[in-house]
Amino acid sequence: MRSLSSAPMCASGATAAGRAPRLAGASSTTAAAATQQQQRRRRQQPQPLQQQQQQQTPSQTQQQLAHAGRRGALLGGFALLALPAVARAAEPVQQQQQQSTQGAALEEYMELEAKGKMKDRRQLDDFRARFGIRRLLDGRVQLRSRKGEWHTVRLDMEVAGALLLRDPRGNIFAIETDGLPQVDLSDDYVLLMLFSDGSWQDQMQAIEYEDADEPGRVVQLNMSESEFREFVGILAGVDEDDEKDKKKKKGKK
């Protein structure tokens, strides 16, 4: 199982202060036979905001972040931290409950879709809400936590299968899916498959960095809503930079 902390990374989504993000841990969401189901069931829908962002030309601010993020973090004294992958195995009973919830959600969705009841937007919204999912008018997806808080979810455009979440306070988290290298958040079947059982709350990991002003102090990455919507990705390229550093050191020897 591939972890986000070991995936190719870059700091193109670091904040203007040049913070170098890290994952507090790594986890995955199991999606059995997901790719085949997704390809078989894919329907034409309005292009979601996440896909539109991938086609947009980066703004001047985004370009500055992309070029200055990693370098600025190092020069500013921020240390890149990466913990080894941590496998979180759910309790057997909890696993069974989650699988049961997910299976029931997918089965009901397929039945309602076959009857043509998912064409009505209100009915579709009500169905999503039963599983803590809602889609905004601009295509963005939000997930309701057990505490009743809504987390905005989007793709990291630079790491296949990586999902980023932002809570109401602006804290940023990451999840990597397993079995869905290309996640289509415009497909409700995929949303139910990934999020209907609520296990995403146990699997998301905070993206953190070390405070340059206070060595040893780890702070979670925080972004405004506009920052979260505009950047391309924050999890790719770090390994490439580390590899370059190693080659430079070998060259000096």
59: Cβ contacts below 8 Å, ≥ 6 apart? 230
Helix, strand, or coil (residue 192): helix
Alpha carbons 159 and 146: distance in angstroms, whole number: 28
What pLDDT, on the 0 to 100 scale, is given for residue 206? 92
The predicted-structure confidence for 180-234, as pLDDT tens digits, reads as follows 667 889 999 999 999 999 999 999 999 988 888 888 899 999 999 999 998 888 7
Cβ pair 30, 178 in contact under 8 A: yes
Alpha carbons 123 and 125: distance in angstroms, whole number: 5
User: How many Cβ atoms from other residues are within 10 Å of residue 101's Cβ?
Assistant: 16
Question: What is the mean predicted confidence (pLDDT) over 19-27?
Answer: 52
Domain boundaries, the chain: 26-70+78-233
If one compares 27 and 234, the residue with the highest pLDDT of the two is 234
If one compares 55 and 94, the residue with the highest pLDDT of the two is 94
Element (H, E) at 125: helix 121-130
∠ Cα 157 161 163 (to 5°): 70
In the chain, the percentage of residues whose pLDDT exceeds 70 is: 52
**Burial class of residue 98 in the structure, from the number of CB atoms within 10 Å of its CB (0-12 exposed, 13-18 middle, 19+ buried):** middle
The predicted-structure confidence for 102-155, as pLDDT tens digits, reads as follows 889 999 999 999 999 888 899 999 999 999 999 999 999 999 999 999 999 999
